[in-house]
Structure 1
């Protein structure tokens, strides 16, 4: 659907040199014209929401520690009241599945919504463009400044812009590191400039790529580096909402006086003002049809609607619509009915089920975890009194951020008893390793392996308990 129009290549050898120049044409810098409107407002809402979360979360505290911290040294992830351990990789897998199905679901419904409104490349490009506009002026002033020779004014403006970009990028990199190193430690390191080597690397690495992608490359990332632009077409179909130009209504294009009925002069509603191209962050002309460079930001819709208002024409010459809706002249009701089609309902249903599974897993997550490791160096031995003994190491994990006193019991064979610590104190969000001996009479069972259970419970709250199965070996 809507694949970009490709120019036919000539096989004439005399034209190969011209064609190679076109294939490797130098980049023409895009000076994006600012635009206001419904979709521009939504983009800025997403900019504010995402950046308040990103820059604000490391400053929040919970239980006298950082609320969101992926502490790699301790091998623990703290997310508000939850503490996740390496054994909780299951939840990461669920999150990845949710992300994949959310991408399928929203792309099938309305195309590149992620790219146009919430992708970090889009968000940070918006911020960098805003900084550029505040320092250098609107798109016309920036274009003139670009063409002007270097003088004192141009040097001052460019230096100010690059400095603000660099400071913002470094703060972005610093914030990223604050998710993995406690912010209090980072601030102390910043005061004395005593960062660790890895902290310096990631601050400069992430900050440098923020500067490079949002300040320098911009649309080149979306057009040539982002893989999503290349495989988006397999997730589109004729009922996917995308930014479209109503060619039937808009053609033929041409300038005219305000208030003139375009049909009376044999023209369409498009006055060929080029606003839709000027506001496009990737510099495409949406009137040429859907192109892979289009990120679905709808800036062209806002720009065109403003022109339609000035000309006294109905809005919607460029709008969110579907290929079938344009061909069959559907109204809003028919579009909604076809957007909610089996494909999107299946994606949405699977996404809802996986989200419910994640919530259920978090809600039923146990506060204790125990790993039982049997000593394999000596499967069994006879001890005083003729009893048979197996040795186990219990790795007890306290998943809560409160100190716990735990009772340990064993069951599963007649006459079984525990020799070793039967009450253990475990510090908040930590592990405790305990070695215990389990003994049974020789007549407790036939020779071989037998199933036994370790039960660990909180002393003052027996409801918080966990049972782990293992085997007891009786020799011949």
Structure 2
């Protein structure tokens, strides 16, 4: 009981927030964040990835494969066409593996480099910066936009605001049509929508996602990242002291304060000043409106805008770059960052295992399937020849994108005879309904229910035989 307990100072720091509108209620109104433009290496990288992401997103629905849309996620027909592969509800494991691999890839990247997905590839961030770009081009720089909003409505303000919102709606509409084009043929969607000949659900979806894109990127912006996205809340569970994230170096920057460029390092030391000149540019360029100098905050999306802004100031002042940088807690404390560590290895191993299972599942996937439906109106009947007949409906599913010839046969039923068409042509990605019947000599049936098998075989593009079999039951109750 006499042992001392170490006490850790957890005094909260004051975090920068957008100023309130004067409402002193418990839930004050949110004020707008005016994001300042920034140039730098990380900004160029973010733009590069943004352009790649936009290009891939816009191009994929227009690709053609074997005369059809290469990627078409047809929910109505319950099939997903992805180039040469067609996924059906029976292929749920492949979709599950894809989501699991994506999740663990995100966990791995987050553990290593923080929230870089949010800052460089997230659609919300990408479209937000696109909308901010239109703001800058139409309404001007940050200070000009602030002054414009403070002005009373006049012809110039009305024109600029109208042009800005028209641009926002246009981007949102093109985005929405492209997105819906993943689920319905995009070539006809563009024509039908603008000629008011589109189906109800396709038109509703386009309008719905247009409103969502316009609202999210135009108005909600950082609210999506700070209040609605669950990733911001549980990301800390993946962080450790070796995770690279955007951070401010207080040992080098404090005590902060303005100064002239002509002030020498000796004079700075005499005044007790660090390298931070307290210009607040790091706050002005932040899309979520935080002050990175207050430490790691869940609102930070690791876009690196504050890094570029601070490096630009350091260049002008003649100081070394890196006052704000992608670094780890260990490195800030004067230690070294451990790249290879148990948590990162664990995520890498699980990611490798799940990726291997996904590849194996796709590789071992049989491009055909059979579903047997027993006629329930009559369990069996006796033919004119005295044979017992059971009627079935076969659903032959061609999972490939090529037309194939399916051959059907039976086995395991003594004196059993297949009655019906035994060879059919099934188009790629189609389900063929084949009604058939099976007969047997009643004296050969020793049980009321006899199990036997249907066999279906076809050839792939290389001439190799592909076979599947399905067990069903033959019923005769007068045994």
TM-score (norm 2): 0.89
Corresponding position of 2:249? 246
The answer to whether the Cα contact below 8 Å between 1:451 and 1:470 also exists between their aligned partners in 2 is yes
Unpaired stretches in structure 1, ≥5 consecutive residues: 9-18
2:459/2:465 contact within 8 Å kept: no
Measure, in 2, the Cα distance between the counterparts of 1:467 and 1:158: 66
Identify, as 1 or 2, the structure richer in helix.
1
One of 87, 90, 93 as aligned partner of 1:90: 93
C-alpha change, 1:391 and 1:399, in structure 2 (3 Å) is: same
**Rounded Cα–Cα distance in structure 1 between residues aligned with 2:440 and 2:269:** 98
Query: 2 CA distance for matches of 1:196 and 1:80?
Result: 25
User: Does residue 181 in structure 1 map to residue 184 in structure 2?
Assistant: yes
Partner of 1:463: 465
Partner of 2:434: 434
Aligned residue number for residue 402 of structure 1: 402
Q: Does 1:138 align with 2:141?
A: yes
Name the structure 1 match of 2:284.
278
Q: How many angstroms does 1:379 deviate by?
A: 4.0
Kindly indicate whether the alpha-carbon contact (under 8 Å) linking 1:223 and 1:229 is maintained by their aligned counterparts in 2: yes
Of 170-179 and 462-471, the range deviating more from structure 2:
462-471
**Distance across 1 between alignment mates of 2:68 and 2:170:** 27
Q: Please list the CA deviations of residues 433-476 of structure 1 after superposition, one character each: whole Å capped at 9, or x if unmatched.
A: 11222233446564254442211122794613322222334543
Q: 1:192 aligns with which of 164, 177, 195?
A: 195
Whether the 8 Å contact between 1:407 and 1:459 is mirrored in structure 2 is no
Say whether the 8 Å CA contact 2:254–2:275 is kept in structure 1: yes
Q: Given the alignment, which residue of 272, 279, 286 partners 1:266? A: 272
Give the superposition deviation at 1:130: 0.8
CA positional deviation for 1:66: 1.4
Q: 1:34 & 1:389 partners in 2: Cα distance?
A: 79
Deviates more, 1:121-130 or 1:299-308: 299-308
Aligned mates of 2:429, 2:413 — CA distance in 1: 33
Q: 2:307 aligns with which of 290, 297, 301?
A: 301
- List aligned pairs for 1:14-53, cutoff 5 A: 21=24, 23-53=26-56
Find the counterpart in structure 2 of residue 351 from structure 1. 351
TM-score (norm 1): 0.89
What SS class does the counterpart of residue 21 from structure 1 fall into? coil
Partner of 1:219: 222
Shift of 1:251: 0.8
2:155 paired with 1:152 = yes
Contact 1:2 1:290 in 2 (8 A): no
How many residue pairs get matched? 460
C-alpha root-mean-square deviation of aligned residues, in Å?
2.6
Tell me how far apart the structure 1 counterparts of residues 85 and 316 of structure 2 sit (CA, whole Å): 55
Rounded to whole Å, the distance in 1 between the matches of 2:471 and 2:404 is 22
Work out the CA distance in 2 between the residues paired with 1:74 and 1:43: 38
Question: 2:5 corresponds to which residue?
Answer: none
1:380 Cα deviation (Å)?
Answer: 4.4
Equivalent in the alignment of 1:165: 168
Q: Does the 8 Å CA contact 1:3/1:290 hold for their aligned counterparts?
A: no
- Residue 30 of structure 1: how far off its partner (Å): 1.6
The correspondence of residues 348-387 of structure 1 with structure 2, limited to 5 A, is 348-387=348-387
Tell me the secondary structure at the aligned position of residue 466 of structure 2. strand
Question: Per-residue CA shift, 1:384-432, capped at 9, x if unaligned?
Answer: 5554433322110112233322211111234332122211222332111
